[in-house]
Amino acid sequence: MASMRGLASLLETVHLTALGVWVGAVGMTAAMAAVIFPQMNHLDPRLPGFSAYPSEHGVIAAGWVMARVFMILDWAQLATAGLALLALIVRVVIRGGAPMRWTGVRLALTLASAGILLWYLLAVAQPMNADLVGFWQAAQAGEVERADALRASFDARHPSASRALGSLMVAALVTILVSGLAATAPPRRVDR
């Protein structure tokens, strides 16, 4: 019985930690983008590899760096979302009849966060990445019109990406709050 309580506590800790790391990773990535893009524009670099493209090398340089950061974020989000969901599901399965507070709400919120993530990765991030790589290739080749069209497509998708990541952060934060409250609440009395 004590070992089951210890396992349950461990699973709660893993669930909350994974959610916290997930939210932190998204927040830090947004903060990095908010710093890197203005700084690169201020530096106004000239990139020899993009010399055939006439303008905004600072945006290209910042995008080149942030593309790798977003790739790391995507993998980190998959790992932390999967870990948070797995820990909660195992916690629910092992509860062994003991009451667990807000189980349905916690599962729904964790699944909603994971669902937003999957939608973002498949419907938003992949097309944006394709536009970005195409833009870089066209800009390096001096195909200015094609590069500008791909950049416009990328820019048109950007608000959806921001909304998705913002929604994901809100959903994950609410999940943390509810899970934290549920995990720290005194046990319910079970009348027999």
pLDDT number for residue 93: 87
What gap in Å lies between CA 68 and CA 61, rounded to an integer? Answer: 12
Angstrom CA distances, 120 to 31, 55, 133, 167, 190, stand at 19, 30, 18, 10, 42
Give the model confidence (pLDDT) of 142-159 as tens digits.
999 999 999 999 999 999
The pTM of this model reads 0.86
Residue 31: what are its φ and ψ, rounded to 5°?
-65, -40
Q: How far apart are CA 150 and CA 128, in angstroms?
A: 9
- In order of their start, the domains of the chain are 2-184 (1.20.120)
CB neighbours (10 Å) of residue 93?
9
Identify which has the larger pLDDT, 22 or 182.
22
d(CA 126, CA 133): 11
List of residues 6+ apart from 89 with CB closer than 8 A: 107
For residue 99, what pLDDT is reported?
A: 56
pLDDT tens-digit map of 55-89? 889 999 999 999 999 999 999 999 999 999 999 99
pLDDT (mean) for 105-133: 95
Tokens of 75: 């993998």
Residue 41 banded pLDDT, cuts 50, 70, 90: very high
- Burial call 1-40: b when 16+ CB within 10 Å, e when fewer: eeeeeeebeebbebbbebbbbbbebbeebeebbeebbeeb
**For residues 4-30, average pLDDT:** 91
The band of 5, judged by pLDDT with boundaries at 50, 70 and 90, is: confident
Mean of pLDDT over the chain: 90
